[in-house]
Amino acid sequence: MSEKDLKKGTTTLGLVCKDGIVMATEMRATMGNLIGHKTTQKLFRISDNMGLTVAGLVGDAQMLARWLSAEVKLYELKTGRQMSLKAASTLMANIMNGRRYMPFWVQLLLGGIDSDGSHVYSLDAAGGSIPDKFQTTGSGSPFVYGVLEDRFKEDLTVEQGKVLGVRALIAAMKRDSASGDGISMCVINSKGYHAVSPEELKKIETKLEA
């Protein structure tokens, strides 16, 4: 196993809002007690209507993100329409379940919008696929759940979701040594997939610290 495959450590989250989806991660990758990278990509654009967050081994996570993106693009080319979140989550679950001899060492969140609304699915290494209103994965997830259980509301807007996502990740980064070094976030709504700029994230952080 290469040095790259040994890099891990993560906190990710996905929130279902009334006008879209918010997905976010921090950016640290660890190798035991060593911080391997401080700008690790853990949030991937899969298509205009869906995104993927990854926790676990970097090699497995990046390969699965590329695999799903290719399958979704092929589906769109063949059918002329977007793949539903349920179909994409089932496809990803089947891929992960099919590798029983050496499971993918990852936890994934697949989120986005389709004709049935907004969705976030949690996918585990055994191929389990579970939808919920909010989800979090990785070593910092207990701290994120503490914030989300207290502050999440069914009628949350995307703008409120961005603030809540930053608040939850800050809580994880303060207490989980494998999480840190900044935040990556996206919004997925009727207008498509949009990355939240570092400048906007910094403004949210500053307001929360005030």
Letter string b/e over residues 137-155, b meaning 16 or more CB atoms within 10 A of that residue's CB: bbbbbebbbebbeeebeee
Residues 110-163: pLDDT tens digits?
999 999 999 999 998 888 899 999 999 988 899 999 999 999 998 999 999 999
Q: Which residues are known to be catalytic?
A: 10
Q: Domain 4-209 is of which CATH architecture? A: 4-Layer Sandwich (3.60)
Domain ranges of the chain: 4-209
pLDDT digits (tens, 9 = 90+) for 52-105: 999 888 888 889 999 999 999 999 999 999 999 999 999 999 998 877 677 788
pLDDT at 7 over 60: no
